[in-house]
Amino acid sequence: MAEGISLEELQLAARNHGMPLEALRYPVTPVGLHYLLTHYDVPDVDAGSWSLRVRGEQEVSLGLDEVRARPWVELAVTMECAGNGRARLDPRPVSQPWLLEAVGTARWAGTPLRPLLEEAGVGEGAVEVLFTGVDRGSEGGEEQAFQRALAVEEALRDEVLLAYEMNGEPLPPQHGYPLRLIVPGWYGMTNVKWLCEIEVLREPFSGYQQLWSYRVRQTEDEEGEALQWMLPRSLLVPPGIPEFMTRERFVPAGEVLVQGRAWSGLAPVASVDVSADGGSSWRAAELEPEEGRWAWRGWSFRWQAEPGACVLCSRAGDEAGNEQPLEPAWNLGGYANNSVQRVPVTVTG
């Protein structure tokens, strides 16, 4: 578990931040409450001199005004860091020590990627599309720009966006100004920020963030499996009031409306169940209407809270039959830990 966090992990936790769970009340997360992970530094991009280079069969270069002159689309998209839940694994993989909060939903707006790729020409032998950000740093002993690739068929999905707006405003610097990639349904690492180059590849990309990082595996010798779609997860707004230091919750006895949100990249959310006894017994929550395929789905549950100590949990399942596990499955990088949240609550008489 999370005891014994190192100075290096704390340095990351002080820079990056999760979404305080009470912000689950907002269908669209206000800027500043959405989770944020920056691998290197937030770069200082001058939009006047910035351009996006697209290298397909032809090479195309666009300034920000040219990107903005293209068709405009807005999508509400829930984004979760692949490392969410890492600090709840035992032994704890050492990296950004997320507990539960590395998630948020924004209205991302920009222009669809597909027509731009088709104009540049994908070509017959294309296998992947590589996305490069302006941000540079050192990781795994290699100096690098942040780069991730998508299989061509993923890159050509209609809902993949080049976004220059978040919640109706230009992207804030920390969320990728002036332009970022949005791949609805996938974990956060795919959504390359500060995007400056898109390149159609005839060989699979073998960069650090693709072949070494962001893979589910047990040992460094395994190739492992690349992280892609978000696994199902539900989180609830911790009810009542908190103790400052422990975050323990205090709730008066009686009926409590427990609310939360659930998502799955793999398939639409089909069910949310709630437990007030730490996962021994479960009852169905009421799902709110969907707000689009790519945004989380609200739910609520009327809980009859009786005096004493208890542990609230919620568990999501999706239409493909995936369900959150009660216990985490360990892996080397600490990825995709979607085991159920446990919220200790003291119900006062």
Task: Choose the stretch contacting its own copies; rule: CB under 8 A; options: 49-57, 64-72, 220-228, 245-253.
Answer: 245-253
What's the rounded Cα separation, in Å, for the pair 295 and 298? 10
What's the rounded Cα separation, in Å, for the pair 321 and 159? 24
Which residue from 48, 242, 268, 308 is in contact with its own copies, where contact means CB under 8 A?
Answer: 242
Task: Choose the stretch contacting its own copies; rule: CB under 8 A; options: 61-69, 121-129, 191-199, 235-243.
Answer: 235-243
Q: Which residue in 149, 160, 124, 154 sits closest to 204, CA to CA?
A: 149
Which residue from 25, 202, 283, 302 is in contact with its own copies, where contact means CB under 8 A?
Answer: 25
* Residues with Cβ within 8 Å of residue 152, at least 6 apart in sequence: 122, 126, 127, 128, 129, 200
The token pair that represents 217 in the structure block: 């595996």
For its own copies, which is the closer residue by CB, 202 or 247? Answer: 247
Q: How far is CA 116 from the centre of its chain?
A: 25
- Report the site for its own copies in 72-131 (rule: CB under 8 A): 87, 94-95, 97-101
Q: Which residue in 148, 176, 152 sits closest to 37, CA to CA?
A: 176
Nearest distance from residue 73's CB to its own copies, in Å? 24
Angle at 83 between CA 81 and CA 86, to 5 degrees: 140
Nearest distance from residue 139's CB to its own copies, in Å? 4
What's the rounded Cα separation, in Å, for the pair 136 and 149? 17
Task: Choose the stretch contacting its own copies; rule: CB under 8 A; options: 6-14, 117-125, 220-228, 323-331.
Answer: 6-14
What's the burial of 235, exposed, middle or buried (CB within 10 Å: 0-12/13-18/19+)? buried
Q: Residues in contact with its own copies, total (CB under 8 A)? A: 61
For its own copies, which is the closer residue by CB, 44 or 223? Answer: 44
Task: Choose the stretch contacting its own copies; rule: CB under 8 A; options: 27-35, 61-69, 264-272, 297-305.
Answer: 27-35
Q: Applying CB under 8 A, does 3 fall inside the site for its own copies? A: yes
For its own copies, which is the closer residue by CB, 61 or 138? Answer: 138
What's the rounded Cα separation, in Å, for the pair 190 and 82? 10
- Report the site for its own copies in 150-209 (rule: CB under 8 A): 172-175
- Report the site for its own copies in 268-297 (rule: CB under 8 A): none
What's the rounded Cα separation, in Å, for the pair 207 and 12? 23
**Beta strand pairing call for 52-55 and 195-201:** parallel
Q: For 68, phi and psi rounded to 5 degrees?
A: -70, -20
Which residue from 124, 244, 289, 309 is in contact with its own copies, where contact means CB under 8 A?
Answer: 244
For its own copies, which is the closer residue by CB, 14 or 309? Answer: 14
Nearest distance from residue 349's CB to its own copies, in Å? 14
Interface residue list for its own copies (CB under 8 A): 1-18, 20, 22-23, 25-26, 30-34, 36, 38-42, 44, 87, 94-95, 97-101, 136-139, 143, 172-175, 238, 241-247, 250
